[in-house]
Amino acid sequence: MAEKSHVDLGFVEKSDPENLTCQHFPSKIGGKPAWLSLAPLPSPNQLQCPKCSGICIFLLQVYAPVEDDSNAFHRTVFVFLCKNPNCHQPNSNAPFCVVRSQLPRDNDFYSPDPPTPATPIPSKGDNLCAVCGIAGPKCCAKCHSRSYCSKEHQVIDWKNGHKQNCSNSEEDGSTKRSQVLFPEYELLIEEEEFQKKEEKSESEKKEELSSFLTSDKASSLLQDCTPEELEKMSNQSEDRTFSKFRKRVEHAPDQVLRYDREGSPLLVANDNKPGNIPQCTCGAKRQFEFQARLPFNYVALHSSYNLKRSPALLNRPQKMLTVCVKVMPQLLSHLGVDQVGASIDWGTLCVYTCSKNCYQGNQYQQEYLWKQDYSK
């Protein structure tokens, strides 16, 4: 019998881009951010990678209002990452950035009434970079009609067609699609359901193992194994954290996000568990809110590509590669991550947010991300 949990799952689906603009309060992956508060936006410096100083690109956003908080009638959490693969190191959150925005029902940008398909995009707000959609304090010196977050993105836009259209007064103020962005998809949220299996006792597990080790099958399978290899297999079999993770996600293998505010993340390894989460700038503790699992598909559809280029993947146990293929077979092709680089990879990204939902008007608040990789 299927059981329901307190966890909500996110799945990707192609959607009309008009449904993913800010006035519809979407949860989505890729494209440009659909900002909640439209001014002031986080500055380009706030979304700058601390390693290479490049601009972090929008990855995903989750619309998550809080019913009993009047200042969080609208509430969205945004995640950005640096696309330079050299900036991504094992278990390091440095090339990621998380910001939170929330607004009361009566605010400077949106009607208190629910949006309809005919609801227009708000006209007020900061200028947006034509390439990536974050704040664009710079502009084209010639036409003054296109905004940019950085000189780098201005050069990209110039090469992508603005050079020919600079004097065209009817040119759209944004770049519709570029290699800078991830393809855009809607995040559909559903309550988790799973079939709970009866767990075997420790004595039953030991009896099964003992029976296997004395069998002819074990002798034939293990005869060529060195002591070091047997020790490694033994250690892998003891990774109960990964086993728990595998069993839980196999009920909904297409999930890309798990939302469990005030709950706990579903971890992928015993190593590098979340700890010492810094307090919010307001002084309140941060609590777990959701986790993203996008990179499973980096292995799923482009395993040969990754294995040739990523030493970290070569060192992973084969059982992990197999599970990666099973868990999320669609998303890699959706995101086009082969353009990102094979060394951008992670087990899970755990996002922590202010437990008090501190509210500073239209300002964006920085939040915290913990990156956990698979055990080697």
Highest mean pLDDT among 243-247, 284-288, 341-345: 284-288
Flag whether pLDDT at 297 surpasses 70.
no
Average pLDDT over residues 232-255: 74
- Band the pLDDT of 1: cuts 50, 70, 90: very low
Average pLDDT over residues 326-348: 52
Average pLDDT over residues 293-321: 38
- 341 or 301: whose pLDDT is higher? 341
Average pLDDT over residues 126-147: 94
- Band the pLDDT of 170: cuts 50, 70, 90: low
pTM listed for this prediction:
0.80
Flag whether pLDDT at 307 surpasses 80.
no
- Predicted local confidence at residue 108, as pLDDT: 97
- Band the pLDDT of 315: cuts 50, 70, 90: very low
SS (H, E, C) the chain: CEEEEEEEEEEEECCCHHHHCHHHCCCEECCCCCCCCCCCCCCCCCCECCCCCCECEEEEEEECCCCCCHHHCEEEEEEEECCCHHHCCCCCCCCEEEEEEEECCCCCCCCCCCCCCCCCCCCCCCCEECCCCCECCEECCCCCCCEECCHHHHHHHHHHHHHHHCCCCCCCCCCCCCCCCCCCEEEEEEEEEEECCCCCCHHHHHHHHHHHHCCHHHHHHHCCCCHHHHHHHHHHHCCHHHHHHHHHHCCCCCCCEEECCCCCCCCCCCCCCCCCCCCCCCCCCEEEEEEECCCHHHHHCCHHHHHHHCHHHHCCCHHHHHHHHHHCCCHHHHHCHHHCCCCCCCCEEEEEEECCCCCCCCCCEEEEEEEECCCC
Q: Kindly report, residue by residue over 78-105, the tens digit of the pLDDT.
A: 999 999 989 999 999 999 999 999 999 9
Average pLDDT over residues 293-318: 39
